[in-house]
Structure 1
Amino acid sequence: MQITPDRFFALQNGQPAGCAHPLTVHDLGELRVPSGQVEACDPFVTLGESGSFPVPPGTYPVRVTVADVSDAGEENHLREAYLSLVVADGDVAEVRPAELAGADLPAEDRYYGVGVDAGTVAFVDATAARTLMPEGTDWFEELFDTGAESSWFARMDDPDHLRRGAANIVLPRATDGENVVLCHSGWGDGFYPVVTTHDATGALLGLHVDLLVAGDLDEAGTDEDEDPQVAG
């Protein structure tokens, strides 16, 4: 199923027409992308090994759109709906399947995406992810879950860092602030499409992971392919 602007709700506060849930947008700081390639990954499983998507080199705001899926607006059941890299401001006129670096364009109504096995998605500069993590160490024990307040798990659980369930972390070997921005992945593990938004001239506005909480693709369901794509 093709995603259309009227059924795509990233970066919208309130309850847009056609959306089943109230939404709130939260700032996760900025992401440095000097290489112009954004890796979308599960940072605890495939950091530095996932596909990347081109954007102009630069530093961009990252935001998470959160849906309140609780009954009767009780605000006790929140799920991340979109992770978004904001390339430029503007009105969304078109939503396209993101182009995966080094791959053919996705077939009609199909989307490249990110596989999740640890309930988390992230954006990171692709070159930084491959070169600025420590070598010869167990990242889980040395970085992700050390028991210290500086561990990646602890940063995600700290409501005073950004918000509970999200973090913006400088990579261990960074020399110029290269970082990773991560958040929980909606309903958890799965395979999530990556899309781009464009204005009426075709200019790129943003790169988004659709976490299948709002919009059309969550209703259609998804299937992971070998190449990897997600069926709409």
Structure 2
Amino acid sequence: MTLLPIHDDRWKALVNDIAEWHFADGQVLRYRLFTVNCGELWLKSGRLIACDPFATLQPRDNPEVAVPPGVYPVVATVADTSDELDGSQPREAYLSVILSDKPAVGWRFLSPIPPGMALPELGDHEFIGLSVDENTVAFADADAIERLMPNPDEIDWEFELFDSGEDDAWQARLNDPAELREGLVNIALPNAQDSENIILSYAGWGDGSYAVVGTYADDGTLTGVHIDLAVLPLAPLPEWD
């Protein structure tokens, strides 16, 4: 497995600090980065889905990546992009599942694919992106989705679950600042018996195709899976040597 080095001036997931970039034309850009604890994600199958929940989530055969089974904290890294750094223009920069507290020393692209599909041959700098069409990304466990989401032939997910007009609809809760914050929400799946859940986040600047990134410790341990929402000026990723 080829790992690329993490450059601290380019990779800013899980950072709480002022980040500053100087460009060749003399421009200086400053963002205030802060993290939001999104609670824990039920991942006991080890089959991690990263998706746009409102556009691409399916009852089964969702693109997934393999991780050690467990229950893991999820953290959003938000960038205040306002000129005054007054908090008026927050943009979600990363959504991260934290798998280990070991220091990360390298990274590589992860390409979520449906179960049973062969991963195409990709170069070190190529990946299958996460397509976003409804300004939202999410993490969930594939087994939990398959077991607990209602049959879409019987219940219309969009009009009865996602955007029903009720306060407990997923869209309403995502937009509610009384949740984790506006744009971030941890939702129990229907009929959850073991705290199975899905964690949703706005997608930074909006719709697009985004990289899913794995970070690794020096012993090869996968320390985290991150959706890089290409908010930072040198995004989506650190340049490779």
Which letter maps to 1:43?
P
2:6 is aligned, of 4, 7, 27, to 4
- Residue 40 of structure 1 corresponds to which residue in structure 2? 50
Equivalents in 1 of 2:30, 2:48: separation in Å? 30
Matched, 1:113 2:129: yes
Higher alpha-carbon Rg? 2
- Residue 23 of structure 1 corresponds to which residue in structure 2? 33
> CA 1:105–1:88 in 2, change beyond 3 Å: closer, same or farther?
farther
Which letter maps to 1:59?
V
> CA 1:105–1:179 in 2, change beyond 3 Å: closer, same or farther?
farther
Equivalents in 1 of 2:55, 2:220: separation in Å? 34
- Residue 66 of structure 1 corresponds to which residue in structure 2? 78
Equivalents in 2 of 1:27, 1:66: separation in Å? 11
Equivalents in 2 of 1:28, 1:138: separation in Å? 27
Equivalents in 2 of 1:83, 1:106: separation in Å? 24
Equivalents in 1 of 2:80, 2:32: separation in Å? 5
1:194 is aligned, of 212, 218, 221, to 212
Equivalents in 2 of 1:216, 1:20: separation in Å? 12
| Residues 78-87 or 153-162, more deviating | 153-162
TM-score (norm 2): 0.84
- Structure 2: stretches of 5+ with no match in the other structure: 22-28
Matched, 1:168 2:178: no
Query: Is the contact between residue 185 and residue 201 of structure 2 (CA under 8 Å) also seen in structure 1?
Result: yes
Equivalents in 2 of 1:46, 1:76: separation in Å? 30
Give the helix-richer structure, 1 or 2. 1
Runs ≥4 in structure 1, deviation > 4 angstroms? Answer: 16-20
Q: CA deviation at 1:100?
A: 3.5
- Residue 225 of structure 1 corresponds to which residue in structure 2? none
Matched, 1:80 2:88: no
Q: Structure 1, residues 12-69: CA drift from partner, whole Å, max 9, x if none?
A: 1012465842200001111001111100000011113531011100000011000011
Q: Structure 1, residues 186-213: CA drift from partner, whole Å, max 9, x if none?
A: 0010000000111122211100000001
1:93 is aligned, of 105, 115, 118, to 105
Q: Structure 1, residues 135-170: CA drift from partner, whole Å, max 9, x if none?
A: 121111111112222111121122222111111111
